[in-house]
Amino acid sequence: MTSNPNLPETELVFTRRFSMGHRLISGSSERCAMVHGHNEYVTIRLKAMQPARLDGQQNVIVPFAEAKTRWHNFIDNIVDHALQLSEQDPLLNWFQTNEPERAKRIIVTPGDPTTELMAALLLAKLNAFLAADGGKLCALGIELQETPTNTVRLDGSPDAFLPTSGRPAAQCWWHRADLTISDL
Ligand SMILES: [Zn+2]
């Protein structure tokens, strides 16, 4: 790193709110096995890879604006009001057969779409976006608040935390820098 050691530690923090539906079919909670929803907050923390002094004109960390637009578009237009289902959930088949257009709005997850898993998948997606934008920013972590009393916070890389899918990264939607949310 060539950055000036006297620069203060600077983080960019964005929060977005979205509504979602899901159900958890593999756990012990019968209550969570019925389709239901939450209003969630996702907060990401970013850092510039090459921190620099503000330029005296725009005074912003430049790549931040691009990253923000892309991330907010993904959360607001794709994640918001999507249904989250495990790839093992028989409801997926139902949607594909009866409402194939709506099936495209289902986030398909490797196992139950818990808050822990969604935090890791969203962080992996964010990392893919940032890498595609030239790696000028890196993600320090993510916070996913499912309810006011239940938040998952993940710092660092999600890769070792995510379940092994047995598929190459390019075949996992969370590793692709596009708006896909399933690999069906
Ligand atoms: Zn729930």
> What per-residue confidence (pLDDT) applies to 125?
97
Q: How far is the CA of 177 from the centre of ligand 1 (A)?
A: 27
Q: How far is the CA of 115 from the centre of ligand 1 (A)?
A: 8
CA 114 distance to own-chain centroid:
13
Residue 97, amino acid: T
Identify the band that residue 66 occupies on the pLDDT scale cut at 50, 70 and 90: confident
> What per-residue confidence (pLDDT) applies to 3?
58
- On the 0-12 / 13-18 / 19+ scale of CB atoms within 10 A, 108 is buried
**For residue 169, is pLDDT > 90?**
no
Q: Find the distance separating the first CA and the last CA of the chain, reported in whole Å.
A: 41
Residues whose CB is less than 8 angstroms from the CB of residue 7 and which lie 6 or more positions away in sequence, other chains included: 51, 52, 53
User: Which CATH architecture does the domain made up of 12-175 adopt?
Assistant: 2-Layer Sandwich (3.30)
Q: How far is the CA of 20 from the centre of ligand 1 (A)?
A: 9
Q: How far is the CA of 135 from the centre of ligand 1 (A)?
A: 34
**For residue 114, is pLDDT > 50?**
yes
Identify the band that residue 4 occupies on the pLDDT scale cut at 50, 70 and 90: confident
> What per-residue confidence (pLDDT) applies to 68?
85
Q: Where are the domains of the chain?
A: 12-175
Residues whose CB is less than 8 angstroms from the CB of residue 42 and which lie 6 or more positions away in sequence, other chains included: 15, 16, 18, 75, 79, 122, 142, 143, 144, 145
**For residue 8, is pLDDT > 80?**
yes
